[in-house]
Amino acid sequence: MISQPVKIAPWLDAKQIEQTIKNTRLPQPRKDPWKYTSVKQVLERLDNPFDETNELPAQNGSGVIIGDFGAPKISSLARKHVNQIANNSNNVLASLNLLRAQQGYAIVSSECSDSATPVAQIPASDSCERILIVVQEHANLEIIEHTSGGNRVIECLILPGGQLVHRRIQPVTTHVEYNSLTVNVMENSSYKMMQYSVGARLRRNDIVINIEGEGAKVDVTGGWKLADTSHLDTQLAVNHRAKGATSQQKFHGVVGDSARAIFNGRIYIARNAPKTDAHLQNKNIATSDGAAIFTKPELEIYADDVACSHGATSGQLDEQQIFYLRTRGIPDDRSRELILDGFLAEIVEHEEGARVLGIEPRKVGGR
Amino acid sequence: MSNNIATTPEELISKEYTAGFVTDIETETLPPGLSEEVVREISRKKAEPEWLTEWRLDALRRWEKMEEPTWAHVKFPPIDYQAISYFAAPKGDKPKSLDEVDPELLRTYEKLGIPLHEQKILAGVEEEPSQPRVAVDAVFDSVSITTTFKETLKEHGVVFCSFSEAVQSHPDLVKKYLGSVVPKTDNFYAALNSAVFSDGSFVYVPKGVRCPMELSTYFRINAENTGQFERTLIIADEGSYVSYLEGCTAPMRDENQLHAAVVELIALDDAQIKYSTVQNWYPGDENGVGGIYNFVTKRGTCRGARSHISWTQVETGSAITWKYPSVILRGDDSIGEFYSVALTNNRQQADTGTKMTHIGRNTKSTIISKGISAGHSSNAYRGLVRMNPGARDARNYTQCDSLLIGSECAAHTFPYIESRRQDAIVEHEATTTRVSDDQLFMCRQRGIEPEKAVSMIVNGFCRDVFRELPMEFAVEASKLLEVSLEGAVG
């Protein structure tokens, strides 16, 4: 077999990746994890060529390097980690992304920065992209990511003691969008993610967080406000593979019109991960009868000395809360709006997030 | 149901699966294998009408095209369905009265500890009127041996008999309701059962009747290389009430035996069915050799308005449990409940839970599931709560807790929630913890042995479920937990 280099990562052999894809079972329609979202539509979108390529994101301040996979100070990291962090043996879509990607780049924090946390932006793009993020030991980094109807696979590594804050903003799009994010969190490092989403024709977010080091901290929050016929599918897996780590997951969603919200949150605790503390919560409010909510909080636990919980609810606005506001002279419509805003404000910590979700900024920080 | 329960830790540790003996009795078995001929033969043996034979054959043809489900969180080597014998019965004609029942069989039930007052009844002796009465249908391998209290029940219009008998005596009811809740193609094991089901219980409670006693069926697998495929059908007509109990045991053997039952419950307007199970099939030895594969389909439908179906289960046996007692809430204002304690020890695997499908208005469901894993076992809760678009003001509350004993076991939770209704409220909560050191310390400090302390804590953990069980069963269940947990601490 004659080798053929992958466009964005020439050290990888495209033929070999194609072979892996052929050997891997394609996701089955109407079965987990594609029970409620059409995998066909996502595959079709991947098959359609994207022509647009963007400028590399500009770096904001010092302490961070952004460049393609061949750039100096990046190439050795890229060779080591691209296609290694996302477990491509199971994720066919990530492998396809690698073959089709028109653009690939890395964001690397400099080693141990004492100055203010550097901020890097990942701009919106509807192309097919591959991104590697590396947070060096004891370094800090903040990423602000915008998604917009593209296909993006992010691989992220947080080395010991590193801290990453990741804000993901998902505005309205009429496209089919697929995002895959895999984060490896090493010892005593922390990963904090916030994801704010509004409508899309079809938006699928696959998030896998692997806790590989002792004492790591993971905090993931998310909010969505869906209207019309939008479709949002979030699949989150937090894999505890080291002891003494903590993880918190909290998602609030408001679903109206004929929109569909799908959430699958899985906490996995390996046998070698005792003293784990992991909690997951997903609350949903439906504001119309056409809205559909499908949620599945999963626990898969192989260690005994752990404290884990999850909770999920789905319901409508609390009539008592509305009554309380009405007795204070607030009209019905406004009362409902206020309660929904408050419900979402619980998970919003960021002004841009508040803007996307359409809640008034002054309520930010209600958590 | 068992009368020789251990009361000290020493006894507990030496305690083994007490129901693991084999009854030495001549058995008539069909040769292993599954074919149209086998199905026809089973049907012929039971002198079934033509429509039922065809029904079975249709199920068989469909089963042959189906694939075994692989989604459950259990692992086992492939089952050779041609190596199983699909019919086993004690030799001779069906006894007309208890006097004709083989004494060896009677001894078996005595040994299994079915309460003595029932034995008196079995032997035809008057019982003391103050004692609570339980009517028993005893199913031994593929056939029903006897059903007690038939006459008393008949006075109230209640039909309680073996399934085979019901096919002869109440063909209209059987034809109307068989497969109406669990269609023959519902799933792989239900289709298999529909083709080869041998016996089981049939209950019909007429309009407005409150069944005067608890009904119960005791299932016993005895023969080697066989499976048990019983079928239970319970119909509660308008405004009636029935409480039904089910118990099961099997001998200790190194081979795995298949138990693929189907249970269908139908509750019409204002009717209530309470179905309780204490499942104690042989779980295999500490290395996971032998034991029953318990692949059961249980479903009830609240067909009428204000009807009520409640499942309570205590699962301590079986090498593998694959079981999801469900309720379809079709009638307005109907109620579905599921209370479960599933305990796995050694190498046992359980994937169990429930499905609540809300269709009617103002329907309510409650799910309380307690999973306990010990040894090297794996215990999974899998549930589905579905609110259909017509389920106005429907309500569900789910709580599922797991307790881990030892560092080699596993506990999983897979709850599916599907809501298509704005005013439907679904709440799900789950926790996983181990027996806390504080609790243990407190018990130890008061001089309670570790094993006893753990079993006390476990009993407390399961209290919400046990209080739903009928009295006799609740006692049985909590003792059973002690036995099953033996050797799990230390």
Alpha-carbon distance B72 to B349, whole Å? 10
In a domain, A99, yes or no: yes
Residues A302, A342: one domain? no
Q: Are residues A206 and A89 in the same domain?
A: yes
Determine the structural domain holding residue A360 and report its residue range. 319-367
Does the CA dihedral A330-A331-A332-A336 come out positive or negative?
negative
Q: What is the pLDDT of residue A61?
A: 63
CB contact under 8 A, B411 and A301: yes
Which A residues in the span 311-330 are in contact with B, Cβ-Cβ below 8 Å? 311-316
Residues A335 and A203 in one domain: no
Q: Establish how many alpha carbons lie within 13 A of residue B311's alpha carbon, considering only the half-sphere containing its beta carbon.
A: 34
Q: Does residue A2 sit within a domain? A: no
- Kindly state whether B441 is in contact with chain A, defined as any CB-CB distance less than 8 angstroms: no
pLDDT tens readout for residues B421-459:
999 999 999 999 888 888 889 999 999 988 888 888 888
A272 touches chain B (CB under 8 A): no
Residues from chain A contacting residue B416 (CB–CB below 8 Å): 294, 296
- Is residue A327 located within the same domain as residue A215? no
Quote the ipTM score: 0.90
Chain B residues 281-310 with CB within 8 Å of chain A: none
Q: Are residues A232 and A149 in the same domain?
A: yes
A208 shares a domain with A78: yes
Q: Are residues A313 and B428, on separate chains, in Cβ contact within 8 Å?
A: yes
Chain B residue with minimal CA distance to A259? B420
Average pLDDT over residues B234-246: 95
Q: State the Cα–Cα distance between residues A335 and A327, nearest whole angstrom.
A: 10
Q: Are residues A326 and A343 in the same domain?
A: yes
pLDDT value of position B125: 43
Name residues whose C-beta falls within 8 Å of residue B308's C-beta, 6 or more positions apart in sequence: B267, B271, B272, B273, B302, B334, B335, B336, B337
Give yes or no: residues A362 and A306 share one domain.
no
> Across the interface, which of B407, B409, B428 has its CB nearest the CB of A297?
B428
Q: How is A18-79 classified by DSSP, letter by letter?
A: HHHHHHSPPPPTTSTTSSSS-HHHHHHHHHSPP----PPPPEESSSEEEEETTSTTTHHHHH
Same domain, A25 and A119: yes
A174: phi then psi, degrees, rounded to nearest 5: -95, 0
What pLDDT, on a 0 to 100 scale, did the predictor assign at position B95? 65
Q: Do strands B355-358 and B395-405 pair parallel, antiparallel, or not at all (unpaired)? A: unpaired
Q: pLDDT > 90: what percent of chain B?
A: 56
How many domains, chain A?
2
Diameter of chain A measured on Cα atoms: 76
The angle that helices B50-64 and B36-45 make with each other, rounded to 10 degrees, is 150
B4-50 pLDDT, tens digit per residue, is: 333 333 333 334 677 888 888 888 888 899 999 999 999 999 999 99
Partner-chain residue, chosen from B71, B407, B427, that has the shortest CB–CB distance to A313:
B427
* Average pLDDT estimate for B220-235: 88
CA-based nearest distance A158→chain B, Å: 28
Q: What is the per-residue pLDDT for B489?
A: 61
Q: Which residue of A has its CA nearest to B392?
A: A289
Alpha-carbon distance B383 to A310, whole Å? 14
Query: How far apart are the C-alpha atoms of A269 and B90, rounded to whole Å?
Result: 49
Percent of chain B residues past pLDDT 70, beyond the cut: 90
Q: Does B436 touch chain A (CB under 8 A)?
A: no
Nearest CA in chain B to A273: B407
Of the given ranges (A21-30, B64-73, B74-83, B143-152), which has the lowest mean pLDDT? B143-152
Q: In this structure, is residue A6 part of a structural domain?
A: no
Q: Does residue B170 register a pLDDT over 90? A: yes
Taking the CA of residue A225 and the nearest CA in chain B, the distance in Å comes to 15
**A286, A296, A308 member nearest B432 (Cβ):** A308
Q: What is the mean pLDDT of residues B191-205?
A: 93
B419 touches A: beta carbon within 8 Å: yes
Would you call B430 and A311 a contact, using CB atoms and an 8 Å cutoff?
yes
Q: Give the residue from chain A lying closest to B431, CA to CA.
A: A309
Q: Which residues of B touch A297 (CB under 8 A)?
A: 413, 415, 428, 430
Contact A294 B419 (CB under 8 A): yes
pLDDT digits (tens, 9 = 90+) for B257-303: 999 999 999 999 999 999 999 888 888 888 888 899 999 999 999 99
A203–chain B nearest CA distance, Å: 19
Contact A70, A76 (CB under 8 A): no
pTM, entire model:
0.90
> Other C-beta atoms within 10 Å of B429: how many?
17
The more confident residue out of A114 and B193 is B193
Q: Which residues of B touch A311 (CB under 8 A)?
A: 427-430
Q: Could B421 and A289 be called an inter-chain contact, meaning their C-beta atoms sit closer than 8 Å?
A: yes
Contact A316 B423 (CB under 8 A): yes
CB contacts < 8 A, A to B, total 113
A221 falls within a domain: yes
Q: What phi and psi, each to the nearest 5 degrees, are found at residue B321?
A: -115, 130
The model's confidence at residue B251, banded by pLDDT at 50, 70 and 90, is confident
* B417: nearest CB among A288, A312, A316: A312
Would residue A8 count as lying in a domain? no
Q: What is the pLDDT of residue B124?
A: 41
Please list, in sequence order, all residues whose beta carbon lies within 8 angstroms of the beta carbon of residue B221, skipping any fewer than 6 positions away. Answer: B141, B228, B248, B249, B250, B251, B257, B259, B281, B292
Q: Which two tokens stand for residue B306?
A: 């204000």
Domain assignment of residue A7, yes or no: no
Where do runs of H (alpha helix) occur along chain A?
A: 14-23, 39-47, 75-81, 92-100, 319-327, 332-345, 351-357
Q: Which two tokens stand for residue B299?
A: 């479903």
Same domain, residue pair A294 and A355: no
In a domain, A5, yes or no: no
Give the lowest-confidence range in A140-144, A148-152, B124-128, B144-148.
B124-128
Q: Is residue A9 one of the residues assigned to a domain? A: no
User: In this complex, do B426 and A307 lie within 8 Å of one another by their Cβ atoms?
Assistant: no
A81-90 in b/e burial notation, b at 16+ Cβ within 10 A? bbbebbebee
The residue out of A281, A299, A316 marking a domain boundary is A316
Residue A113 has a pLDDT of: 59
Residue A312 and residue B426: Cβ atoms within 8 Å?
yes
- Which of A294, A303, A308 lies nearest to residue B418, judging by beta carbons? A294
| Residue B484, pLDDT above cutoff 90 | no
Point out the domain boundary residue: A316, A337, A357: A316
The answer, for A239 touching chain B at a CB cutoff of 8 Å, is: no
d(CA B89, CA B144): 9
Residue of A nearest to B414 (CA): A298
- Is A180 found in the same domain as A139? yes
Confidence of residue B393 (pLDDT cuts 50, 70, 90): very high
Which stretches in chain A have pLDDT values below 50? 364-367
- State whether A207 and A348 are in the same domain: no
Nearest to B432 among A301, A312, A315 (CB): A301
Q: CB–CB of B88/B27 below 8 Å?
A: yes
Q: Does A291 touch chain B (CB under 8 A)?
A: yes
- Tell if the CB–CB gap between A302 and B410 is shorter than 8 Å: yes
